[in-house]
Chains A and B, each alone.
Chain A
């Protein structure tokens, strides 16, 4: 115990260098933990985006691509699928519910999704939680009604009854707007922490209506234009949708239906199991994750080597200190232990400060990260794995402390009290 006190007192004597060393370690620990936490939370938030959906069906492309555009609103579909194909499978006896999705328009950078009432009834996220409305209601028969995700409403300050205009395409700045057919906000969803928060939901009829007078990708002019009121009275059954989700009566039939859809003669379609596609996505991302992890490990190593250098260079200056300790009865192994304890104390201070710094960063950046990247970073206690990492850092520091300890041990044997200046 007295060795520990002695080590601390010695460190206190050189507090500026000691603080800098601890700070370097703290920064590296903070980086390592932050990488680890963002990685696990990104996975968790991705995995909790969809739940209870047995199959996602879209035009034949790649399973990851289909998952990304249908669930995460990242990227675009290669092709649309016919409405008849959707109806064909929605009426399949194995299917319990079907949610059609039509993507491609946006509003001030947020994606617009055309869907049906089934979406609010059956779409589940997290641990089988249904979507809930914070205020208002789901869209009904009128095609020009929109239900906002929580973040859209918050960021753009929309409330019930507001009118908004959708833009054609998904670019943040769009030159072509559907300004002849404004939508009315009828509902705002509760926050889910998923891409649903960043989506505007309209009915398929609404999606059809805003494009009804379009030809070859451009809006009609003059007399050919169809007003919102005229559109209301027209048949707004869509010709095509982007993708659809299926819930089945029995999980056992998933593979049979998947095969049936993949071999469907009507048009080339692909059915994916969202859970399997997610894992495929992980295996793609794991290389990048590993690279990040290795980089942050090296940063920790740099911090520890900085500490080693600081202690080693101080050894020469502290010959007198060692000699005095020896003269009052300290044995060489006392000196050695003193240096190991010093290294450990520096690393411990660094780790504690690093964890503190991490929590400070999380507390400050939480809101920003959630609203911009959809990743919720909780202020949770370190996980088991994180404790192991921290323990590993301390162990590495202990090991490194042995180097100056060994030198001091040898020197204190040889030097004795004679100081050669």
Chain B
């Protein structure tokens, strides 16, 4: 009998798990890293396709992490957004590679339309991130010799370090780029 009782939690485990999977997932899921001044950039190059994934605390890009309410803050968000929407300049992709933006997607609570709307989604967080995904098609991918983030660091001085992961024709690479050493060979 005691054994049976001991087995009871295990018998209930699938139920508990199903329950957890249904509702509580985002509360029990682990939290991602959030380190001010540090962002991550994933670069994947396969044939003509080039993909960039940028992720980092909002403070790196706009200087604050709350929803913009004042006009000055709104202007900062709009300006950061405009910069992010011009990835060819921001990431200094060489003209010779003839890259064309296929898709781009910016995600952040700061970019939500109104404070009320944003509040409805994720206000319990005191920190917020900005994520940007880009997909390019490059006619001459061989011209992509190096990744240069000098322009990025100039545009967003709040960013001190970017952890870069690169998948290129020569395999995988990882590096930490800073304003002082801002370039990585493919």
Contacts and interface: CB of A to CB of B under 8 A. Distances in A.
Contacts of A279: 173-175
Interface string B24-67: 01000110000000000010101001010100000000000000
B172 interface: yes
B178 interface: no
Nearest to B51: A252
B165 interface: yes
A63 to B, nearest CB: 9
Which 3 pairs across A and B sit closest by C-beta, in order of nearness? A275-B172, A276-B174, A255-B42
Contacts of A54: 167, 172
A251 B29 contact: no
15 contacts: A51-B171, A54-B172, A251-B46, A252-B167, A254-B167, A255-B42, A255-B165, A265-B20, A265-B21, A265-B29, A273-B174, A276-B165, A276-B172, A277-B174, A279-B175
Contacts of B29: 263, 265
Give the most central of A254, A263, A276: most B CB within 10 Å: A276
Given A273-B172, A275-B173, A251 B25 contact: no
A238 to B, nearest CB: 18
B174 A275 contact: yes
Interface string B158-186: 00000001010001111100000000000
Interface of B: 20-21, 25, 29-30, 42, 44, 46, 49, 51, 53, 165, 167, 171-175
Nearest to B169: A251
Contact of B171 (A255, A275, A277, A280): A275
A268 interface: yes
Contacts of A193: none
A280 B174 contact: yes
A265 B25 contact: yes
A54 B174 CA distance: 13
A274 interface: yes
Given A255-B53, A265-B29, A279-B173, A273 B44 contact: no
B36 to A, nearest CB: 21
A250 interface: yes
Contacts of A60: 30
Contact of B44 (A252, A263, A275): A252
Contacts of B25: 265
A127 to B, nearest CB: 11
Interface of A: 51, 54, 60, 250-252, 254-255, 263, 265, 268, 273-277, 279-280
B167 A273 contact: yes
A251 B30 contact: no
A140 B53 CA distance: 43
A250 B46 contact: yes
Contacts of A280: 174
B106 to A, nearest CB: 17
Nearest to B163: A276
Contacts of A273: 165, 167, 172, 174
Contact of B49 (A252, A254, A263, A265): A252
A60 B167 CA distance: 22
A290 B32 CA distance: 34
Contacts of A251: 44, 46, 167
A268 B30 contact: yes
A291 to B, nearest CB: 21
Contacts of A254: 44, 167
B39 to A, nearest CB: 14
A23 to B, nearest CB: 42
Contact of A274 (B21, B46, B172): B172
B43 to A, nearest CB: 9
A255 B51 contact: yes
Contacts of A265: 20-21, 25, 29
B131 to A, nearest CB: 11
Contacts of B53: 255
Nearest to A63: B174
Contacts of B21: 265
B24 to A, nearest CB: 10
B174 A252 contact: no
Contacts of A252: 44, 46, 49, 51, 167
A279 B25 CA distance: 34
Contacts of B173: 275-276, 279
B27 to A, nearest CB: 11
Contacts of B20: 265
A240 to B, nearest CB: 15
Nearest to A275: B172
A249 to B, nearest CB: 11
A275 B49 CA distance: 20
A280 B25 CA distance: 32
A51 B30 CA distance: 31
A265 B51 CA distance: 26
Given A268-B30, A273-B167, A255 B174 contact: no
A46 to B, nearest CB: 14
A277 B44 CA distance: 16
Nearest to A265: B25
Contacts of B172: 54, 273-276
